[in-house]
Structure 1
């Protein structure tokens, strides 16, 4: 926060926080830290709130949550861990083994979806009447798309609202 350029900070906020006002927030952070480095989260919360237009602040909870999410993902390399873990988990499965993914944010779900699609789809000419021997994928999707929590599950556990569940199974060695 105190060292990234406005451009790099805006990129982090836009990509990891899916923040529409990333550039405005980043520019304001750089201007504010020129006067004094950031040492408290409260100061950042106030800056983010002031950077977002009033109508946008009225919806979606705390306006700084996307900024903090983006910073956490960047600092902890969370998506990098997902990018490394998904292929590694799929690689070590034996036939009949399954990988079950619970993704709590869209960026995690995109990685899971992409990796599962990679191992379950074939690039064959359209209209081929059969799959040639040896070309069938080694994995199959157990869930069709991402499953979401039911209203009852969300009532029991409100944090389940954002979760997406995907499952893939190895069917061949």
Structure 2
């Protein structure tokens, strides 16, 4: 059965179709939750809440993007909401000091592994970490990031630039010690 057919059945409250979509996407959405929450129980809870929300709001799905992309946005928003409830708020940045962001400059030494990059991202301050994760790992643009995190696009760009610079420093320190 095609995905769009499943979605249409879900819109008619077909429980079997809902279960099929759940089975198709639950592992991937759990992985997304784990990237943000780092706790299996919290990630399971948030993933479950995201599916419930998705099925409640499935009439809003217009197939402009894939169902998976639409669901992933719900999962990311649920993760961010969960973190906010745990008092992990984002610090506002002074937007008067702006730099142009070269968003495509993500070059890293070939000897640095993906795991080292992910580990370095985890060590970023939270105000940078989530913007970097949403941009680099999840592939969201600044308009989407600003909506998800409830910040301006300017703040998203600034936080990405600063996060990228700190990420480079963390990777440089990890690879070469504390050279300057």
The TM-score normalised by the length of structure 1 is 0.31
Higher helix share: 2
Greater relative contact order (Cα 8 A, min sep 6): structure 1 or 2? 1
The TM-score normalised by the length of structure 2 is 0.30
